[in-house]
């Protein structure tokens, strides 16, 4: 049976307090974040943490995502970036390269598909992931406890991956 999950990121300011979340159902979801990161970092990390949480399953994973950046990074651009020494077609370094490298490793040997869904239009699973990602970002903004969720049964709890400080200006999309 295929695991169907939504993955989303949120940044209050870009960069700013940020969060990520993945959501399968009310018993299987996780969230986290950072005091300062970008929305793209949240989007990529949501996918990464979902793949980490489900790494010990043999099930295919179908990821619903409202981020074209995250989807294309995992499905179209990653192989070329890797082949070019983690550089884009214009020769500039890949943004968020550490997360992308971790995604490369997490995707290896897995059956993973992506589906773009329009954000903020009532898609139930996407909205659930969005609420949780925004909740994590808001908790960082307020300095309160971050709602991390129950996670995946039997998997270690997700930890917000330390990331490099966000750039002063928003990153390029690709």
Give me the active site residues, please.
Answer: 8-9, 43, 66, 120, 130
Give the residues across from 147 on adjacent strands: none
Angle, CA 78 vertex, CA 72 and CA 79 arms, to 5°: 125
Q: Measure the CA–CA gap between 134 and 138, rounded to whole angstroms.
A: 6
* Alpha-carbon distances, residue 55 vs 31, 42, 112 (angstroms): 17, 20, 11
């Amino acid at each position: 049976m295929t695991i169907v999950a939504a993955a989303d990121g949120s940044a209050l300011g870009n960069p700013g307090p940020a969060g990520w979340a993945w959501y399968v159902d009310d018993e299987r979801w996780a969230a986290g974040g950072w005091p300062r990161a970008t929305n793209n970092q949240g989007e990529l990390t949501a996918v990464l943490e979902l793949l980490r949480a489900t790494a010990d399953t043999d099930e295919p994973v179908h990821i619903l995502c409202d981020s074209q950046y995250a989807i294309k990074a995992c499905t179209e651009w990653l192989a070329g970036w890797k082949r070019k020494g983690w550089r884009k077609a214009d020769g500039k370094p890949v943004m968020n390269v550490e997360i992308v490298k971790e995604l490369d490793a997490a995707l290896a040997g897995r059956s993973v598909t992506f589906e773009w869904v329009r954000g903020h239009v009532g898609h139930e699973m996407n909205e659930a992931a969005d609420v949780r990602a925004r909740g994590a970002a808001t908790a960082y903004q307020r300095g309160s406890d971050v709602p991390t969720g129950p996670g995946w049964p039997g998997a270690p709890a997700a930890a917000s991956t330390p990331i490099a400080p966000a750039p002063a200006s928003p990153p390029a999309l690709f």
